Amino acid sequence: MTDATARLDPHHDIADIDRRLFGGFVEHLGRHIYDGIFEPGHPAADDEGFRTDVVELVKELGVSTIRYPGGNFVSGYRWEDGVGPKDERPRRLDLAWHSTETNEVGLHEFQAWLDRVGSDLMLAVNLGTRGTQEALDLLEYANVDTPTTWTDQRAANGRETPFGVKMWCLGNEMDGPWQVGHRGADDYGKLAMRTAKAMRMVDPGVELVVCGSSGRGMPTFGSWERQVLEHTFDDVDFISCHSYYQEHDGNAQEFLASGVDMARFIESVVAIADTVAATKKSDKRIMISFDEWNVWYLHDDQGGQNDKPEEKGWPVAPRLLEDQYNALDAVVFGDLLITLLQHADRVRSASLAQLVNVIAPIMTEPGGPAWRQTTFFPFSITSRLAHGRAVRVPVSSGSFVSAKLGDVATLNAVATVDDEGVSLFVVNRSTTDAATLRVDLAPLVRELDREVSVAEAHLLHDDDLYAANTLADQTRVGVRGADATVDGDLLTVELPAVSWAAIRLA
């Protein structure tokens, strides 16, 4: 048993929380859309073919803004294929995932689904095989209310009023050689600048995300951000970060340091963006859209489904990237959410990649049930409880040595403060030692001038780190009540090894 201490001072502000921090990501990939959110003929399908059981789970998850339609998919996508009468829409080859896209679901259908789940739309434009003009056409179709050929077509397709899309991504992972239309930083930066300037001429109120590196480990990381921002700094609001984490070679302790890697990634990108600002003698601050993050067994040690189905031709909605998440994955996932909140001053938008079937917190079976993966729980609880302001909670605890990252604190925590109460999120990264965390609440009690009590206490932990929820056993892993008590000015939380907890103080 390890003893740890912390202090919760409501004045140790990080920033107000932008609700877009709890965003999601839906891509035309595998069974995400077809057989995932959209399955006409399913017993739970509504009159437009959307699975209502999935709708309810996405609502419970609490996602705010959802990025669409990709991802790698967008770099070969013609958005016009997804509007108009369904029986006239073309079938296209999707080069990104070696599949056939039927275009049954496009912009109008996806907005109808968003209306059901209560989330906002974040659109990506194709800067891989297409360019500025096609981005302008989509923006005009989506956001303009003046009668034009494009807006008349939108009305003919069933929507008189604009979609009013606020956030737009200028392409996707253009630094990656796997990307259709991949190009260097200088070429991409110039194209993104021209596109951003033109889009603002159509709609000055849009918020634009320029592509950062598709990972901290990319050989061009750092120089890519600098060159791209030197071109686009005056014309964009965000730069993207993408990062995925997984356990390698059964080394759970190293995997549990993933939050530290994410923090260093964020801080490096912030430093580069602020350096560009300094060279331009500008007070402007570029924010981060961490619009792809998750646990993903990309380099598959676990027998998942990450290969493209080349040997099967060009299938429709093949089973791709259907990772099965365990209790260990969920604890790391919860720590990544803590890290995002700890950087809420600069991470103003984030998208969990992805939502259904594809590296997802929600799984479905065709004609069958939908269920929650282990990662569902930390996201849904954090999204529900984290409002108001993010607050630093320094923890004094032991540490372990990561081969990649050096000394790593065993416990990590953050709090949020709103008008109704305080939420504390904490993770125990140790694979061997339980911990007793004692949190000094005296600054909070003085500020409130009243006693505080535990209103909710949630713990995610399983003695079997590799326990998972499956089609055969959909509720094997869940959350239970955490052992959390308040005595005067002291909150005490018991944390088993490899655990994540959320405490709501009223």
* Local structure of 478: helix, strand or coil: coil
Sign of CA pseudo-dihedral 447, 427, 241, 405? positive
Selected catalytic residue, list 39, 80, 101, 292: 292
Task: Please give the full DSSP string across 41-98, using - where no structure is assigned.
Answer: TSTTB-TTSBBHHHHHHHHHHT--EEEES-SGGGGG--GGGGSS-GGGPPPEEETTTT
Q: Do 498 and 461 form a contact (C-beta atoms < 8 A)?
A: yes
Other CB atoms within a 10 A radius of the CB of residue 312 amount to 10
DSSP for 327-375, written as a single string: HHHHHHHHHHHHHHHHTTTTEEEEEEE-SBSSS-SEEE-TTS-EEE-TT
- The 435-440 sheet, strands edge to edge: 395-396, 2-7, 435-440, 490-495, 484-487
Q: What is the DSSP string of 207-231?
A: EEEE---S-TTSTTTTHHHHHHHHH
Of 449, 450, 493, 424, nearest to 8 by C-alpha is 424
Q: Which amino acid is at 202?
A: V
> Nearest-CA neighbor of 328 among 500, 184, 185, 486?
500
Please check whether residue 324 is in contact with residue 373, taking contact to mean a CB–CB distance below 8 angstroms. Answer: yes
CB of 188 closer than 8 Å to CB of 214: no
Amino acid at 251: N
Residue with tokens 């094997």: 476
Peptide bond into 82 cis (omega under 30): no
Structure tokens at 38: 């959209």
User: Is 327 within 8 Å of 321 (Cβ atoms)?
Assistant: no
Question: Is 292 an active-site residue?
Answer: yes
Enumerate long-range contacts of 194-199, CB under 8 Å, 24 or more apart: 194/132, 195/125, 195/127, 195/131, 195/132, 195/135, 195/170, 196/170, 196/232, 196/235, 196/236, 197/235, 198/132, 198/135, 198/136, 199/135, 199/136, 199/139, 199/168
Q: Which of 27, 39, 134, 173 is catalytic?
A: 173
CA–CA distance, 326 with 330 (Å, rounded to integer)? 6
Query: Which residues, including other chains, have CB under 8 Å from residue 218's CB and lie 6 or more apart?
Result: 175, 176, 224
Question: Is 56 among the catalytic positions?
Answer: no
Active site residues: 173, 292
